[in-house]
Structure 1
Amino acid sequence: MASIYKRGKTWTANVFIIQDGKRKRKTKSGFDTKTQANKWAIGVENQKLNHELSKKDGIISDMFDEWYEIFKEPQLETKSKAWYKAISQIIRKYWDNKKLSEITSADFQKLINEYGDNHVRSSVAHVKNIISAFVRYAVDEDFITKDFTRNAKTYGSKKSKDNDLKFLENDELENLIQSANESDTTTSHMILLAAYSGARYAEIAGLTKKDFDFKKNTININKSWQADDKAFKSTKTKTSNRIIDIPGDVMNLAKGWTFGQRYAFESLDGLPPSNKTVNKQLRRFLEQNGSKIITFHGLRHTHASYLLSKDIAIQYVSERLGHADVNITLSVYTHLLDKKRNLETKKALAELEKL
């Protein structure tokens, strides 16, 4: 990214580049105005994008950073940027001062294996996918001839939470809804809406009063809340933009809620309650009811699991959740609630006994 600043009476601009495998700053001073300095910096950035600067086999960590700054950083949100910066540090830890062409498939698999010793498999896969994207770019640009990440296998020794910890059973859900109904806090309203809609935290936090249609009993998911940047953002995918039907009695209850000026759900600071704050309230309700502890995102799993347990079509559940493909829904919600599973087992055995 370009850095432009005033030095004395003139302006100076410098831009990060890679030349002869080394990380350098290309600097030019003496501009009369900031606009002139910015124009020069944009020109250098365009040269980088058009591959007009000298790019040879260099230190992999420096080349990864340049790739990130040009192709990724401008489009990423704060949380995603943190991932790339963390992976940059991982690359420096394992391959400090190593050239891109010197990295082998064995080197990469060793990194994956050692990182996997202390992380869950999903995190390892994230590291693998980001480094693989950079390497594919390097192959496309003829920096190297072989994708050394292609045949690597992900491995993670730490276990993620089991599925049975991620959603509530029917009776637990009913108890939670009753508790949320009896409370008039903003976080309770968010919990109740999540249970009935299956919407993500960022989607509910991003709602405004205009997104509630009390005539049609729907909510309009058309944006989400970026807590790190304290701003609205687009939804996770295009299919995440959706209209969700909500039971009439719930919408009648919502008519009495006090909505904020900018956000439907606002704290005293004028911003939506944080994910941590909502989770504290959720945990409080669950502990009071003697239910298993889940996160706010677990309400999304609970919503989907409940509908599937009632034989609601998987295609409709997928649309309601805003999944891009029904196969995503199938892969995530292959489980059934215990009560439903036991019922299906009995039905299956009864039919088999007729043979």
Structure 2
Amino acid sequence: MAVKKDTDGSWFARVSYKDKQTGKYKTKSQYGFKRKKDADQWERSKKNDLEKGFNIGANPYFFDYYSKWVETYKTSPNVAVRTQNNYLTTMNIIKNYFEHTPIKSINKMNYQAFLNDLSIKNAISTNQKINKHIRACLKDALEDGLVPKDFTQGVTVAGKPVQAEEEKFLSEAEMKKLLLEIRNGMNDQTTTRWMALIQFAGGLRYSEVAGLTYDDFKSQTLRINKAWSFAEKKHVPTKNELKRTIKIEPSIAAEFKSYILRQKKNNLKSGISNKDKLVFISSSDSPPTHAAMNKSLKRACKRADIKEITSHALRHTHVSLLIYHGMDIVSISKRIGHKSPTTTIEKYSHVINELEHRNDEISDKMIASFL
């Protein structure tokens, strides 16, 4: 590895490496740097890539190239944390399918096969987002001369149909049946049941539930000032970077106070470090994944003999029932961490529309009282 001055006065850098695909030793060079420090920077960048296990050859593994692309363009302070996490999620999916696949060996046919496989597992909106990320990355790969053409061009993106808004939450009767089922089997080892209970009780996002720490529970209030990133395995800001403190029903607050005390003792006894002081933690020293939570909920719904839902439906149900029971939109918006009441109105317009008839009756009754 060297940085040297060329005959024309410019600088060049050369890096030696072992090609992971062929096992042969090769060199990669870059010429035409006007300043030595630019050549040094290029050399350091390539050394860093090699230390991370990336293939820096002319035909890198697709996962290596995408990882480097995300690191370069999508992890700057100007990119929102939520957006960064979305690109990191796509990176994990690429790793599962293309970790050791050279980028030049991917064509439209095997990329379409990849999308077809995803269509069985994900909603179409999720797959559209994944395809969008890969297409953006491939655009730069084309400019870098790494691929002859765009293999995402003209592909078909499919997936599970998106549920209608009214299907994303439970009725009051259904929610009572589900809570009864969740509570009947609760103990200190059924972490996802406790998570489901607090998600419904507080109307939280799942990442906010996963990120809760011991200090967030105070008497009958719950502080929500962070979320958990499963991709980065650390706390990150909430979706809208809004912090809030909400009231929790007294008996549920008391249950969690006791649960947390028991969890601290259990973690100490089991040797779980729990350095982040997470309330909900598995044997892997991190919260149960979203998939694990949804799997647990699916089983609970079957036992309760109600329609199957995902964890986010617990948040939707919380909000919908608050609207039905008469809480004003401004208070609901603050409680669930929306940027403005407008967002809440747009998101839950189907519920609000259902109440128009009842509101008309209230209006008529009020006016009639003056006559």
Question: Aligning the two structures, in what range does the TM-score lie when normalised by the shorter sequence?
Answer: 0.5 to 0.7
Residues 286 and 240 of structure 1, relative CA distance in 2, 3 Å threshold: farther
Residue identity (%): 26
* Aligned mates of 1:281, 1:64 — CA distance in 2: 33
Other-structure match for 1:5: none
**How large is the Cα RMSD of the aligned pairs?**
5.2
**After alignment, is 180-189 or 205-214 more displaced?**
180-189
Contact kept? 2:90, 2:130, Cα under 8 Å: no
Mapped to 2, the partners of 1:237 and 1:301 lie a distance apart of 16
Q: Secondary structure at the match of 1:225?
A: strand
Which of residues 221, 224, 241 in structure 2 aligns to 1:218?
221
**Alpha-carbon offset, residue 239 of structure 1:** 3.0
Deviation, 1:273, is: 3.1
Q: Structure 1: which 5+ runs fail to align?
A: 1-11, 16-23, 29-38, 47-60, 99-106, 144-151
Deviates more, 1:160-169 or 1:300-309: 160-169
Aligned to 1:267: 282
Partner Cα distance (2:42, 2:335) in 1: 43
1:292 aligns to what SS in structure 2? coil
In 2, are the aligned partners of 1:203 and 1:223 still within 8 Å (CA)?
yes
Q: Which residue of 2 aligns with 1:205?
A: 210
TM-score (norm 2): 0.57
**Alignment pair present for 1:180 and 2:191:** no
**Residue equivalent to 2:56:** none
**Is the partner of 1:335 in helix, strand or coil?**
helix
**What's the CA shift for 1:197?**
0.8
How far apart are the structure 2 equivalents of 1:132 and 1:327?
A: 33
**C-alpha distance after superposition, 1:167-196 (max 9, x if no partner):** 111111223333334443243221111111
Q: 1:344 aligns with which of 333, 356, 362?
A: 356
Give distance in 2, aligned partners of 1:195 and 1:335: 20
Q: Are residues 126 and 279 of structure 1, via their aligned partners in 2, closer, same or farther at CA, if it must alter by over 3 Å?
A: closer
Does the C-alpha gap of structure 1 residues 243 and 70 become closer, same or farther in structure 2, counting only changes over 3 Å?
A: same
**Corresponding residue number in structure 1 for 2:126:** 123
Taking structure 1 as the reference length, the TM-score comes to 0.59
Structure 2 stretches of 5 or more lacking a match?
Answer: 1-13, 18-25, 31-38, 47-61, 77-83, 146-153, 265-276, 365-371
Q: Superposition pairs for residues 74-85 of structure 1, below 5 Å?
A: 76=85, 78-82=88-92
- Aligned counterpart, 2:252: 250
Please give the secondary structure, in 1, of the residue aligned with 2:222.
Answer: strand
Matched, 1:320 2:332: no
C-alpha displacement of 1:291:
1.8
Deviation at 1:324, TM superposition (A): 3.3
When structure 1 is superposed on structure 2, of 79-88 and 181-190 the one drifting more is: 79-88
Alpha-carbon distance in structure 2 between the residues aligned to 1:88 and 1:269:
26
Matches within 5 A, 1:136-175: 158-175=160-177
CA shift for structure 1 position 117: 12
Contact (CA 8 Å) 2:204, 2:315: kept in 1 or not? yes
Q: 2:197 aligns with which of 189, 192, 207?
A: 192
- Residue 101 of structure 1 corresponds to which residue in structure 2? none
Q: Deviations over 1:50-75 (max 9, x none)?
A: xxxxxxxxxxx999776444212675
Aligned residues between the structures: 295
Contact 1:219-1:244 within 8 A present in 2 as well: yes
CA deviation string 1:29-64 (max 9, x = no partner): xxxxxxxxxx94566549xxxxxxxxxxxxxx9997
Amino acid at match of 1:271: S
Partner of 2:323: 308
Aligned to 2:241, what secondary structure does the other structure show?
helix
Question: Residue 224 of structure 1 aligns to which amino acid in structure 2?
Answer: A
CA contact (8 A) 1:167 1:302 kept: yes
Deviation at 1:256, TM superposition (A): 1.9
SS at match of 1:180: helix
Deviation readout 1:305-335 (Å, 9 max, x if unpaired): 1122223233332222223344443343222
CA distance 1:203–1:189, shift in 2 (3 Å)? same
